[in-house]
Structure 1
Amino acid sequence: MSAPTNTRRGLTLADAGREFWRHPTPWLFVVALTAAVIARIAIGDWQLTDTVVPFAIAAGFPFLEWMIHVFVLHWRPRRIGRITLDTLLARKHREHHIAPRDVDLVFIPTQSAVGAIGAAVAIALLAFPRTGMGLTFLVVMLTCGLVYEWCHYLVHTDYKPKTAAYRVIWRDHRLHHFKNEHYWFGVTTPGTADRVLRTYPDPATAPASPTAKNLHAAM
């Protein structure tokens, strides 16, 4: 377990920040983001189409976040003959639901973060008509990754919401953990994809799930 700064009463944002930067994944995103920004500036070739990239990501990211949460993090182990198909991300996420206050389980596993960054680099270099446009995509996606890590971490601390936007993030993610794991899959984008995909019920009418802390357990 890491230092218990996030278990104290009256946690400040500075306290939370100090704990956040004790973990490797935020630094991994910062290093990758810094390299991407430097590469983007060095390449130049700024065109109007670069401005489309952040808007496209803003429109698509809520659904990407929802799909990863539903189909990757909540992956149910499957047996094929003698082989059990399970993933590190799914295993760690089940542990995270069991112990949502364990700060070490809040962050993306390091090897998974490395893989995600590598995939983003490959997409940036191979899937765009211009290297500059691909690097714009990479900068925005790595920024989203860092923001995701911060928001998800902060929700699992004792830091109390001070703004309306963060209050919604805080409320919805805690409902997912402590009321019903089948709803509220948005983390940094609460209520966006969830509303479209019908996983955003009125909390007053949503049933309490007996498996919210023990995903896939037999009932």
Structure 2
Amino acid sequence: MATDRAAPAPHRSPGEHRARLTTLHTAFAEFWRHPSPWLIAVSLAGAVVARASLGHWQWTDGLVLIVLLALSPLIEWLIHVGVLHWRPRQIAGLTVDWMLPRDHRRHHRDPRDLPLIFIPWPVLVGLLPTLAGIALLAPGRIELSLTFLVTVTAFLLSYEWTHYLIHTDYKPRHRPYRAVYRNHRYHHFKSEHYWFTVTTAGTADRVLGTHPDPAAVATSQTARNLHGIG
């Protein structure tokens, strides 16, 4: 999504943060060298332990899981379009911009820079407790709230892994992952105006009209320079 650093690293040598990760083993080992996966994984483990300790499983737990999984491509699309591709603008004489879209522009400029792939850890430091607070303070069964929290944090970890793996040198071997891989690669190297989902291909993009035939789309001159603002 963006970077696990708030500012560009000065004087970075060419090739740094660009290790060739051609196997799942090397990619998996590198994944855990970054802070964001750990933050999410620890939160997920805590939520799983808390939910399992309470028990009292009901059909509504399964319903929460199904609804959140069904909505996740749409939520992913909305965040990608509305937040990550936010165009800086002047409001009351002030330039409105912030970390996520700013770092996402850096990610488009250099899709192979590994730290730029991850959700920024400062964002997670605020997001994960917020999600926990929303879940625990929501009315209704605490068990259902924890099911919600487990599902959301599991999706976040899945997003991090999928997005990261797409940007490594590991090549897809199975049809479902090939579709996801191509979908996101089109977004980076064909046109930034389409193919906004990351963990799925042809889901929310089809519904919202951003999944065209790649052969009919001209290669964008600003795919690596979002909004053409440098």
TM-score w.r.t. length of structure 2: 0.90
2:210 aligned residue: 199
Separation in 2, partners of 1:128, 1:182 = 39
- CA shift digits 1:41-87 (9 cap, x unpaired): 22223222111011001110010000000001001111113311111
Separation in 2, partners of 1:111, 1:128 = 29
Given candidates 154, 157, 165, the residue that maps to 1:154 is 165
- 1:92: how far off? 0.5
- 1:4: how far off? 4.1
- Aligned partner of 1:36: which letter? A
1:143 aligns with 2:154: yes
The answer to whether the Cα contact below 8 Å between 1:3 and 1:19 also exists between their aligned partners in 2 is no
Structure 1 portions without partners, runs of 5+: none
Given candidates 48, 54, 65, the residue that maps to 2:59 is 48
What stretches of structure 1 move > 6 A for 4+ residues in a row? none
**1:29 aligned counterpart, secondary structure:** helix
- CA shift digits 1:93-119 (9 cap, x unpaired): 000000000001000000112222123
Given candidates 23, 32, 39, the residue that maps to 1:21 is 32
1:87 aligned residue: 98
Question: In the comparison of the two structures, how many residue pairs are matched?
Answer: 216
Given candidates 144, 147, 160, the residue that maps to 1:133 is 144
Alignment of structure 1 residues 153-192 onto 2, 5 Å: 153-192=164-203
- 1:120: how far off? 1.7
Separation in 2, partners of 1:135, 1:80 = 39
Given candidates 40, 46, 64, the residue that maps to 1:35 is 46
**1:101 aligned counterpart, secondary structure:** coil
Separation in 1, partners of 2:70, 2:18 = 37
2:118 aligned residue: 107
Separation in 1, partners of 2:152, 2:209 = 26
**Identity within the alignment, %:** 53
CA gap 1:53/1:207 in 2 versus in 1, 3 angstroms: same
Separation in 1, partners of 2:104, 2:18 = 21
Output the aligned Cα RMSD: 1.6
- 1:126: how far off? 2.7
Given candidates 210, 213, 216, the residue that maps to 2:221 is 210
**1:84 aligned counterpart, secondary structure:** strand
Separation in 2, partners of 1:142, 1:73 = 20
Structure 2 portions without partners, runs of 5+: 1-11
- 1:3: how far off? 5.2
The answer to whether the Cα contact below 8 Å between 2:17 and 2:115 also exists between their aligned partners in 1 is no
Separation in 2, partners of 1:92, 1:82 = 23
CA gap 1:29/1:121 in 2 versus in 1, 3 angstroms: same
Relative contact order: is structure 1 or structure 2 higher (C-alpha 8 Å, sep ≥ 6)? 2
2:9 aligned residue: none
The answer to whether the Cα contact below 8 Å between 2:187 and 2:223 also exists between their aligned partners in 1 is yes
Separation in 1, partners of 2:200, 2:164 = 15
**2:145 aligned counterpart, secondary structure:** helix
